[in-house]
Structure 1
Amino acid sequence: MKIQIINGPNLNLLGVREKSIYGNSSFDVYLEELRKRYPDVEIEYYQSNIEGELINKLHEIGFSFDGVVMNAGAYTHTSVAIADAIAAINTPVIEVHISNVYKREEFRHHSMLAASCRGVIAGFGLDSYRLGLESFLIS
């Protein structure tokens, strides 16, 4: 099984930004833990702060991977283009968020992506990614 994890803007700063919301761990450390926990799953990782690059990555892997676990960051709430890219590909996408977006600012309560995704997981810290990955293992 091949799973692509895609992180959007500012998620390259995990472990150093807003630790009370996003925790103390970098994503690289967490990614190694995921890979050790699921040795039979090929887990690829991609991060970009640029909307078009996220779309290009979805197009690149969207017909050959078994699943995408995507945290589009703030683009979740603004990007029709990413939503359209998700709708255009065959690979199912799980939208994930580290924080519980419904406990945060009002603008974070709406996802432009959710309707194009298989499901949404929010509020479980970095384990939101694990839960997203596991959703592909059980379906």
Structure 2
Amino acid sequence: MQTVYVLNGPNLNLLGVREPEIYGRATLADIEALCQNLAQQFGWQLRFLQSNYEGALVEWVHEARAAGAAVIMNPAGCSFYSIPLLDALSTLETPYIEVHLSNIHARDAEHQHSILSKKARGVICGFGAHGYELALQALQRMLNAQ
């Protein structure tokens, strides 16, 4: 059974209440339910995790690597500065897909460039919670093509 880690970075625990005009009204629990439903349809085991701590995200990427699991991640604020997370993603031999709820390219200058994107097979941004579903669908196509 394919295992997929869906990782969520700092402050995403506040989805639905934090700046809904940017991030939407869906909560992280809503997004997890969408992801679990789709993963079940694909016959996958899903680990859906969130932390406000960079080190926890690094540890989960290490876990995914050891398990041979693919990674979908919304790194949130870690996108713009996290060299440790970039280094961890560099060790993956499985696909990594980056997701952002907002269109980071249309944001202010400090939120326009994710340094983690250079390790991603693809980046999905600007589609809100639906971006997670798009990432899972893209991953399913990637894995089926192998």
TM-score range, shorter chain: over 0.9
- CA offset at residue 95 of structure 1? 0.8
**What are the equivalent positions in structure 2 for 1:1-139 lying under 5 Å apart?**
1-39=2-40, 40-139=43-142
What is the number of equivalent residue pairs in this alignment? 139
- 1:63-102: CA deviation from partner (whole Å, max 9, x where unpaired): 3244111011011011111111000122321011000011
- CA offset at residue 115 of structure 1? 1.0
Conserved? CA contact 1:5–1:43, under 8 Å: yes
**CA-based RMSD:** 1.3
What is the CA–CA distance in structure 2 between the aligned matches of 1:60 and 1:124, rounded to whole Å?
Answer: 28
User: Structure 2: any 5+ residue segments left out of the alignment?
Assistant: none
What is the CA–CA distance in structure 2 between the aligned matches of 1:22 and 1:123, rounded to whole Å?
Answer: 9
State which drifts further: 58-67 or 124-133: 58-67
Identity percentage of aligned residues: 37
- 1:114-139: CA deviation from partner (whole Å, max 9, x where unpaired): 11111111101011111111111111
- CA offset at residue 25 of structure 1? 1.6
What TM-score do you get using the length of structure 1 for normalisation? 0.93
What is the CA–CA distance in structure 1 between the aligned matches of 2:64 and 2:48, rounded to whole Å?
Answer: 11
What TM-score do you get using the length of structure 2 for normalisation? 0.89
Find runs of 4+ consecutive structure 1 residues off by over 4 angstroms. none
What is the CA–CA distance in structure 2 between the aligned matches of 1:55 and 1:16, rounded to whole Å?
Answer: 26
User: Structure 1: any 5+ residue segments left out of the alignment?
Assistant: none
- Considering fraction of residues, name the structure with more helix: 2
